[in-house]
Amino acid sequence: MAKQKTSEPSHLKSHLGYHLRVVSNAVSHSFAKKLTNWDVTVAEWVILREMYSYKANSSPSIVAEFTGLSRGAVSKLIERLLQKGLVSREEAAIDRRYQEIKLTKEGRKLVPRLSEIADENDISYFSVLSQKEREELRKILSKLTTAHKLNLTPIE
């Protein structure tokens, strides 16, 4: 005869993942709402910010590589950014299959302002933690990211 399990299943709120998701959703939704004033989505912001750091002309495949997003997802995002005048695209002179993309002057000026909004959003959520606690949380989350080889940039 099988032994009956007498304990209750774990409660939803007993899981760290639950709390991470609640905080992550709140931070992300707040940031997304603030970006609507600038006609930019979180996914577009990710592309703009990464291109800003890259400095050199890029290609959709390079952007896909450093964001961890698929080439298809990056192409769609770049198309939206082209429509908004935040990036430009040119076919390479040597190989017309290769496209060079870069931030426009407007895109380059927008990134620092959007970074300020991201910083302010983080402050509004994480200022309840001391500097030491924030550093420890970042260290723990980075350890988990590395241990589980999580290299996909969140865009939602």
Q: What is the pLDDT of residue 92?
A: 67
* 16 backbone dihedrals φ, ψ, rounded to 5°: -60, -40
Residue ranges of the chain with per-residue pLDDT less than 70? 1-6, 55-56, 92-93, 95-97, 156
Q: What is the pLDDT of residue 10?
A: 92
Q: What is the pLDDT of residue 5?
A: 67
Q: What is the pLDDT of residue 132?
A: 97
Contacts of 138 (CB under 8 A, 6+ apart): none
Q: What is the pLDDT of residue 96?
A: 65
What's the pTM value of the predicted model, to 2 decimals? 0.83
Q: What is the pLDDT of residue 48?
A: 95
Residues 51, 103: contact at Cβ < 8 Å? yes
96 three-state secondary structure: coil
Residues 88, 102: contact at Cβ < 8 Å? yes
